[in-house]
Chain A
Amino acid sequence: MNRREFLKKGLALTVGAGALALPGNLGKGLGVAVAAPADLAAVKGGETPEMFDRGLAALGGIGRFVSKGQTVVVKPNIAWDVEEELGANTNPALVARIVRRCLEAGASKVLVFDHTCDLWKRSYAKSGIEEAATRAGAKVVPADQAEAYRKAVIRGAKVLKETRVHELILQSDVFINVPILKSHGGAGLTIAMKNLMGIVWDRGEMHSRGLHPCIADLSLLRKPDLNVVDAYRVMTRSGPRGTSAKDVTIRKAQILSADIVAADAAAAKIFGTEPGSIGYIRQASELKVGTMDLERLRIERISL
């Protein structure tokens, strides 16, 4: 720890202690190193679990997101029946680490699901996520039955005013969105907002009514409490499914933020794309879901 960092942390601690005294904030963040939490953490150079831990600490620790007794739903991208190396599904070790941290924070239950494209059983198994998350203590549940999806009204939506959403998203206390950064034939890029298509029943409706406005609208429904963008293996072309490992570039990065638009904007930049050129990022920003203007955010940049 150098001097500047010491001063920064010291200042943050003072501010944090002050904030703790405020009603409403009581108890939150207790026992965690209280630095002024960043709006967005960008981590590079490590393996996925340790990048998560470092990024999470910068955002204020797991206690800021999960309290004792809460139910947590973790939504990775498990769309395809392919191995981790093909970069089509979220990194399983990352999902497992998130699950573990939630349980350590006292979550009563951590559920993991995705409305897969390929058959759920095969995708859950081949991705490695079912095994990793289960071993970490999560309950990994299938989401291939229409009965589990309930009609939800999206306030403020322009096109997708209502759709059927998985009940776990509507019921759980905490929602952690864990997408993987990939190229996407239809939407340009798939990151955090696009990953929400795996919580709805009828994706075809979103495709046929206009993909970009529908993705932007859907992000109004229930903003994830935390978005963790896996940019370790990045599928740079032929996405979102990919055809071989050659489509993947190992970038070793991760973005964490409670602001889904900011997370998408930062991840888009890592991909090498201007966030404003992706329709749904621009439109979600206009809907005030979050901000794509990274200049206005407190960003913690961490290199491992």
Chain B
Amino acid sequence: MRRFRFRSLLVWGGLLLFTTGFFLRGQDGNTPWQFAARVQVLPALLRWGATILFFAGTALLAGRFYCSLLCPLGLFQEAVHGLGGRALPGYRPCRILRYLVLAAAILSMAAGSLGLLNLLDPFATFGRGVTQILKPLLVAVNNVPASISGEPSPILHHLPAAPVTASAFLWTSLFFLALAAWAITRGRPFCDTLCPVGTFLGLFSSSPLLSVRFDTNACSGCGRCERVCPTGCLSSGEMRIERDRCILCLSCLGACKTGALRLGMPSAGEGLQRRGLIRTVLGAAAALAFSGIQSRVEISARSEALPLAVLPVSPPGSGSHDHFRRKCIACSSCVSACPAGIIRPTLSAWGASGLFQPRLDYRYGYCQYECNTCTGTCPTGAIEPLSVEAKQRVQIGRARFDSNACIVVKRGTACGACAEHCPTQAAHMVPYRDGLSIPEVDCALCIGCGACQFACPALPKAMTVEGLRHHGTAKRPEDAGEGAVFDPIEEFPF
């Protein structure tokens, strides 16, 4: 019983860490909170291909403990099941399905698409669950009392709407409804059927050094262990554990009254079986494929035509569209971290291969000149860290001025909203006629932050920003870095 409580403490604590520490807070890439995000299988793989071998090694040593300790989606399923409070009926997964899913994920990745992985990766799906469902709920919970409280206050303040997009919200809602229903009745079958990470780790877990083992003499066959096993990997009748599905949650050890189950090393005579050997070889092949593809991604930069007429803007630090599209698993940690709320998931702005990958959407605001928050949050390296100074020079897009749409031309009145907002004076005002001035864009200074587009009062917008396929480096504004002129007035001019 004590172990039981310990397990649920672990489950809820882990969930809290992932939701608040990473997806809700997500401000600083170097906090210890983010460690949990950095040791996720798919993000780590995309960051450093060779880490896949490390994960394989941990599975050889201690099976799929990763799934019970470090996977936020796994913790979520256990928490949901715990809330339901039902006994588990056991579950026989369709083995062929999990291998097909894994093979399809590897093949599609080799073909340059992260689409399938984005749909099924537990870290990415969990992230979207937080930003697309939990965060809007939290905002609503905050805003009801905030609107009743009357006088504005910085403490109980109306929060801006969470950056939710219809497509990501709909898919995520359906996914989590289905997952919750599955989890409440069956535990964690997702991990044994659809999860590519679980299947991959399972390949190395046939007979790990450390695992749960039956003492056939002590077992009374009561079946308590079966009813608490969230993966259904355990059969008390046969006194057998399917180790490639066991996640080492140790619930069974807590439930066993006779001490027939123990966590330990193999006893003498327990050798590697042929099936296990085959799986391990298959796993090694998969690992090599993964890391091979990943390293090739860096080299080959093949561009698929994007469906939009205007190229989308990728976040600063992503370097190029190709880099971004091949590394982003749409976990939406940057989406949640962006204080301006302009990084938003898309359905297909990045093509079918980039399902839910976000872009900067200047209809909702603009990229703040003094901010580099998103660059510190990405676990996969799709967005690389940038200092504020470096980010201020990175060209992520380019402003275009359409004088026919401009207020100054259309109505003959002064405006200048674009130049007013432009942090580099790439958009600046030059003399026009009748004493008016009109915007002009210096592309060498433009960083594509979208301030001009957002501020432009004209409809359609006279200022629009198009993404740059390869991010550039802007010229430093003249005299930057020099100090102010000291010239106190001597006489009042009136």
Contacts and interface: CB of A to CB of B under 8 A. Distances in A.
B414 A186 contact: yes
Contact of A143 (B152, B417, B479): B152
Contacts of B423: 241, 243
B460 to A, nearest CB: 12
A118 interface: yes
B407 interface: yes
Interface string A199-239: 00001110111111100000000000000000001001010
A95 interface: no
Interface string B132-170: 000000000000000100011110011010000000000
A2 interface: no
Interface in B175-213: none
A244 B414 contact: no
Nearest to A243: B477
A243 B425 contact: yes
B317 to A, nearest CB: 19
A298 interface: no
B487 A251 contact: yes
B224 interface: no
A148 B151 CA distance: 9
A-side binding surface: helix, strand, loop or mixed? mixed
A20 B407 CA distance: 53
Contact of B151 (A141, A208, A209, A250): A141
Contacts of B285: none
Interface stretch (B44-52, B348-356, B365-373): B365-373
B323 to A, nearest CB: 28
A148 B152 contact: yes
Contacts of B272: none
B414 A144 contact: no
A185 interface: yes
Interface string B467-490: 000000000011111111111110
Contacts of A15: none
Interface string B311-339: 00000000000000000000000000001
Q: Most B CB atoms within 10 A — which of A143, A233, A244? A: A244
Nearest to B407: A208
Interface in A258-273: 266, 269-270, 272
Nearest to A245: B484
Contacts of A253: 488-489
A54 interface: no
Given A118-B368, A141-B154, A184 B483 contact: no
Given A144-B160, A241-B422, A246 B484 contact: yes
A90 to B, nearest CB: 16
Contact of A141 (B152, B340, B437): B152
A186 B437 CA distance: 7
Contacts of B389: none
Q: Most A CB atoms within 10 A — which of B158, B407, B420, B494? A: B494
A119 interface: yes
A33 interface: no
Given A118-B368, A240-B420, A241-B423, A208 B458 contact: yes
B-side binding surface: helix, strand, loop or mixed? loop
A266 B420 contact: no
B433 to A, nearest CB: 15
Contact of B494 (A139, A184, A269): A269
A244 B392 CA distance: 12
Interface in A8-49: 42, 44-45
B411 interface: yes
B250 interface: no
B341 to A, nearest CB: 9
A290 to B, nearest CB: 15
B434 to A, nearest CB: 11
A208 B416 contact: no
A238 B425 contact: yes
A241 B480 contact: no
A203 B494 CA distance: 32
Given A147-B147, A186-B415, A294 B371 contact: no
A178 interface: no
A13 B15 CA distance: 73
A34 B339 CA distance: 50
Nearest to A186: B416
Contacts of B32: none
Contacts of A243: 423-425, 477, 480
A192 interface: no
A187 B492 CA distance: 24
Contacts of A279: 414
Nearest to A301: B492
Nearest to A302: B492
Contacts of B489: 44, 251-253, 270
Contacts of B455: 117, 204
Interface string B412-437: 01111101111111001100000001
B493 interface: yes
B153 A141 contact: yes
A199 to B, nearest CB: 13
Contacts of A213: 413
B457 interface: yes
A252 B420 contact: no
A100 interface: no
Q: Most A CB atoms within 10 A — which of B147, B154, B365? A: B154
A169 to B, nearest CB: 12
Nearest to A244: B480
Interface stretch (A60-68, A79-87, A150-158): A79-87
A57 interface: no
Contact of B371 (A122, A245, A270, A301): A122
Given A113-B152, A241-B423, A244-B482, A210 B160 contact: no
A140 interface: yes
B272 to A, nearest CB: 58
B420 A145 contact: no
8 contacts: A81-B370, A82-B370, A142-B152, A144-B160, A203-B457, A240-B420, A243-B425, A244-B479
In the A-B complex, the 3 residue pairs with the closest CB atoms: A186-B416, A185-B419, A204-B457
Interface of A: 42, 44-45, 81-82, 85, 87, 113, 117-119, 121-122, 126, 130, 139-145, 147-148, 168, 184-187, 203-205, 207-213, 233, 236, 238, 240-241, 243-246, 248-253, 266, 269-270, 272, 279, 294, 299, 301
Given A204-B457, A241-B422, 14 more contacts: A81-B368, A81-B369, A119-B340, A140-B154, A142-B157, A208-B411, A212-B414, A240-B420, A244-B479, A246-B482, A246-B483, A266-B494, A269-B492, A272-B493
